[in-house]
Amino acid sequence: MMLVDFGLFFFVLLGSKILLGMIAVYLLIPRDAACTLCDAELLPLQHPRGTIRLLRLLRLQRRWCMECRRESLTRRMASAVTGQRAALPVAEPRIR
Ligand SMILES: [Zn+2]
């Protein structure tokens, strides 16, 4: 029982502030695919090795602006390419 009280005390003292800070930083990361400086469309970048799982876990995505040549971090959004691929009819060559 003493250990639970001690853990709760440290969560209120330090853990809650860290948790609230992390939530605030996450919410400050832009969610749309438009550049914050020039409003151009951002292109998704391939993640370097090692950070793929971490960024996927945090639901973040690195993106590149073609206009101002700047890399930025955005919250992961559903890519339009996968939805478009399912909607388009596939023309398959006939083999005889
Ligand atoms: Zn830009």
pLDDT in tens, 40-67: 888 888 877 778 888 888 888 889 999 9
Residue 51 CA to ligand 1 centre (angstroms)? 24
pLDDT score recorded for residue 84 = 46
What is the spatial distance between Cα 66 and Cα 45, in angstroms, rounded to a whole number? Answer: 12
The pTM for the full model equals 0.58
Burial of 29 (0-12, 13-18, 19+ CB in 10 A): middle
Residue 64 CA to ligand 1 centre (angstroms)? 8
Give the count of beta carbons closer than 10 Å to the beta carbon of residue 45: 13
- According to DSSP, the residues that pair with 62 across neighbouring strands are 73
pLDDT at 1 over 60: yes
pLDDT at 75 over 50: yes
> Which residues are near ligand 1, the ion (C-beta closer than 5 Å)?
35, 37-38, 40, 65, 67-68
Least confidently predicted of 39-43, 83-87, 91-95: 83-87
Contact 38, 64 (CB under 8 A): no
At residue 79 the predicted structure's pLDDT band, cuts being 50, 70 and 90, is low
Residue 26 CA to ligand 1 centre (angstroms)? 21
